[in-house]
Amino acid sequence: MKQKLFDKFAELFGSADGARFYFSPGRVNLIGEHTDYNGGHVFPCALTMGTYGAARKRDDRLVHFYSMNLDRFGVVEASLDDLTNKKAYNWANYPLGVVWAFAEKGHPIDTGFDMVIWGNIPNGSGLSSSASLEVLTGVILTDLFGITDLSMTDLALIGQYSENNFNGCNCGIMDQFAVAMGKKDNAIFLDTNTMKYEYAPIHLEDAKIVITNSKVKHSLVDSAYNDRRRECTEALAALKTELDITALGDLTPEAFEANKALITDPVQLKRAKHAVYENQRTIDAVA
């Protein structure tokens, strides 16, 4: 794959001299759905499938993105002097959003770069192709521009920040964290409320985890995902009128049952119940 990327890079940008090679995995979540943005626990692991990239600095203020998977969009060009989400950029809004987030977080880059990617995560399959691309871009920026004071956790948070604020999806931290912090033969037991985590070795002996592509396309930005998050936030606000909590993940199922009457909207009640009980299921699964 490395040579194919470099060959395409040379075809597009004249040569591949000085280009560097990168990889960022996808992720699958074993349990803990809709808990990460509710301050609960998740249990994801990184995949061998992911996003490959080749990149090189430029000496001007332009950034160029090209996807070998989405070649119909050609080379997408943007400027560091106009870091805004544009419909014409399509998929390239994800890496451009990370460039924007770096600047927002005090790490603006002073020159542009060229970037070619190829991935083997099926688009819209729920295996975090967008988070993989965001973390890949973060790694590329830190490497090309010598940024040494950002940890992999920082890159995960920057990826989430860019997706929330540049691309309009109010996702939690799980996807980017699993991509950035994944470890071979381990899942990650992450408390999204505190960001404390531990690796859990996955020893399945004769069993296997099977990931099936249902062919149903999945897009967080275009789906009801943001509605789910809003409904959970509203349920939390109702509970906080009487309870000293910061997130639904603070509640045990017993505490939720004792106070659920505070939530008067039936849809919000349903969302909150799932978040609380799923959080407990995740804790029990890892125990």
Query: What's the CA gap between 35 and 58, in Å, rounded?
Result: 41
Cβ 114 vs Cβ 58: under 8 Å: yes
Which residue of the set 175, 185, 244, 265 is catalytic? 175
Q: Is 175 a catalytic residue?
A: yes
**Do residues 42 and 190 make contact, with C-beta atoms less than 8 angstroms apart?**
yes
167: DSSP letter: S
- Collapsing DSSP to helix, strand or coil, 204 comes out as coil
Taking residue 205's Cβ as centre, other Cβ atoms within 10 Å add up to 5
Task: Measure Cα distances from 201 to 130, 187, 191, 192, 273 in Å.
Answer: 26, 6, 17, 20, 30
Q: Which residues are the active-site residues?
A: 175
